[in-house]
Structure 1
Amino acid sequence: MAFNGSDYFQISRAGTNYKCLGSDVLAYVQSNLGTAEYRVADITARNALNAQLSAGDRVMVDDATLDGTVIAGWALYQWLASNTWRKIAEQESLDITVGGATNLSYTAGPLQGIVVSDSGSDAILPAADAVNAGLMLPAHKAKVDFLTVTAAFDADASKAKLALIGVTQAVDLDVIEAASHAAVTTAGTAANNPIVATGQALSFNIAGLTSAP
């Protein structure tokens, strides 16, 4: 007759007889000897081993292409239960499903921008400050729009020039603009100063210089 896990075995220990289940014997053997390993030619031969396998047994299949997840080559399986297998390795790769995919969108704002995720936390992009990089505020953009650069941009030359410049304080372009358009004046008068101001132009006329007293 076939041996079942519910059958009892007689065991003698130190002169005393005990009985234990066949499943207990199996568990002891598996924990002390480890699981069995088999090598077969293909998936059909693997499936034929069902009746003699125990949970955790491993079967190396030389040609596992009958498994729809194996394109070519061998695969290693672990037997979990009748006709239930876990693939633990294969020649080409393991089947991995990567989770956490998300779709991103962007919401603009006058003070900050927000990168919106449909499956996770949103990310806030703050305005730049004196310490940290960030987004340009609308007021800053309006000021930059007043600057016009006509020369061709040369990245290497620009870096070299910037390396030679030491800026120790803020530069107010409005002040520079106002000063550049202010009326030109002379320190003296027409009677004692040979420099004549005409708009933004200065001219020198020795005839305008009077003799010193």
Structure 2
Amino acid sequence: GKIYVISFRDTHAVLGIDRDTHQKKFMLSSVIPSVSTHLFENDFEKFYAPHDVSYHENNTLCMMDDGVRRPQGGCTDDDVSTCFSRAVCYYLDDEEKKASLLWEFEYPDENSAGKFNKTMMSEDVFNLNGGSLRKWGEKKWVVAFTSIMYDKPFNHSAWVFDIHETEKGLIEIDSIIRLPKSQNWATSQGTSGSYRATPLESINGEYSVNGGDE
């Protein structure tokens, strides 16, 4: 759709503006429900420190939920061991004024039961800042955790996941790429030093041709 999408990381809010009328189309806030046009179904579906937000057909809103200040697990700052990040997509129901979580992706312990558990919060990847979620086909996505702070078990690298949605609405991993730490971007805290990962079909116009008889 013709929508400008603006994310406010430190206030945990996302705003959508119609490009033609310049009117507000939607606003989601995880901490100030009174300003939201659509409400979350429960607290576990809320996002915190959103990054790389995108709007898609069928009123779908997707983003990286970095998780800083997430109350579940007490992620009060960006150095708490129970902080974790995830990729999320929501359906915005304009009639019911609800934001429903379509799917989420964490690694390595994926959440499928709604509530978070201690293992997931302490072992899943925590993306300190940035990260990206890019559509890569009708049901395919590229998720990147590009600013990982801790040595173990992810070794200060950026991790990129090629995933797809199944017919049952589940997420499956097709491939995993580990990118080495970038010293030029790494902070004093020792993050992996990247910010986004964008999938490209071609670097300079290259393309593939299916084999045939000719």
TM-score by length of 2: 0.21
Per residue, is there more strand in 1 or in 2? 2
Q: Which has the higher contact order (CA 8 A, sep 6+)?
A: 2
Instruction: Indicate the structure with greater helix content.
Output: 1
